[in-house]
A and B are shown apart, each in its own frame.
Chain A
Amino acid sequence: MDDGRPVDSVFKPSEHFTMIFNAFVLMTLFNEINCRKIHGEKNVFRGIFTNPIFYGIWIVTFVVQILLVQYGSFAFACVALTLEQWMWCLFFGVTVLLWNQVKKNYILNFFKF
């Protein structure tokens, strides 16, 4: 009887899906910095070093994420990524900070929200 699962072992981790996961986590991480301000302030970094717990946790999460992707293998359905792929994921992550500014200053003004 067919169990409904795709036959050619789709659950095998692939670079493609690892990159999606990695980009998602990095975007979330950078969004964590955005979320420090809730009243639409321009500078989301203001006072970031007054709270060691915040940047401590941020760095720890980042390091664990690197370890997960590089050495998580089957348990986390990840394969090790090359430096170039990492840079792309990091690029997508950092653009969240840029997007925050663009969204605030241009897009919302443009649509008069």
Chain B
Amino acid sequence: MDKVWPHLRVLARSSPQDKYVLVKGIISSKLNPTREVVAVTGDGTNDGPALKKADVGFAMGIQGTDVAKEASDIILVDDNFNSIVKAVMWGRNVYDSIAKFLQFQLTVNVVAVFCAFIGACIVKESPLRAVQMLWVNLIMDTLASLALATEVPTEDLLTRKPYGRTRPLISRTMMKNIIGHAIYQLGVMLFILFAGK
């Protein structure tokens, strides 16, 4: 199996059973250190096992049988293969939106917590009041999550490489951003706290 599938492009006159064997073979393949991600499209009842076995199963909305739709993860309501590209784009956009918001939220919270902690240790009270923290954490961050999560998907999303299955949600770049900005903002706040008297 591992000899065949990397070069395989078209499999003609195949039965649904072949489809299932192919999906199973690619998923259990040890050719790459990370497991392959497999997507399958299908419409018939006999495509069910392959759709279920794949990481992502696309079923046809108009032509597809109920069994196929039930076994799939995503249903293409317009029966158009181009919609798969759109689904990839939106999927990546959702992932990125969550990452953007995490980056924002974690920076805010790291700064707020350390500021309150350092303030409590040195000047015996938190520089940020409870109500102010509520405004920042409840209202501002809720609005920010809306703002960052409503970014529309662009074609650029399709040009970058896919994330691996086991890639951490917070990447190295994001970690650098979070820590870098937290240090800077803390620095500014402590500067005002101690130099601003």
**A and B held together in a complex:** yes
Q: Judge if B192 is at the interface, Cβ distance under 8 Å.
A: yes
List of A residues within 8 angstroms of B80 by Cβ: none
Output the least CB separation between B45 and chain A (Å). Answer: 42
Which listed segment binds A: B17-25, B56-64, B181-189? B181-189
Output the least CB separation between A95 and chain B (Å). Answer: 8
Complex: how many Å from CA A87 to CA B129?
A: 22
Interface size for A (C-beta < 8 A) is: 47
Partner of A21, one of B100, B124, B129, B150: B129
Output the least CB separation between B172 and chain A (Å). Answer: 8
Residues of B within 8 A of A (CB): 96, 99-101, 103-104, 107-108, 111-112, 115, 124-125, 127-129, 131-132, 135-136, 139-140, 143-144, 146-148, 150-152, 154, 160, 171, 173-174, 176-177, 180-181, 184-185, 188-189, 192-193, 196-197
* Chain A residue with Cβ nearest B123: A10
Interface residues of A in 47-62 (CB under 8 A from B): 47, 50-51, 53-54, 56-58, 60-61
Complex: how many Å from CA A38 to CA B103?
A: 8
Contact status A92-B188, CB under 8 Å: yes
Contact status B128-A35, CB under 8 Å: no
Instruction: Provide a sorted-by-A list of 23 A–B residue pairs whose CB atoms are within 8 angstroms.
Output: A16-B197, A20-B128, A20-B189, A21-B128, A23-B188, A23-B192, A24-B128, A24-B185, A32-B104, A32-B144, A32-B148, A38-B96, A38-B177, A51-B151, A57-B143, A57-B146, A68-B135, A76-B135, A95-B188, A99-B184, A100-B177, A103-B184, A107-B180
Given contacts A23-B189, A39-B173, A54-B147, contact A28 B152 (CB under 8 A): no
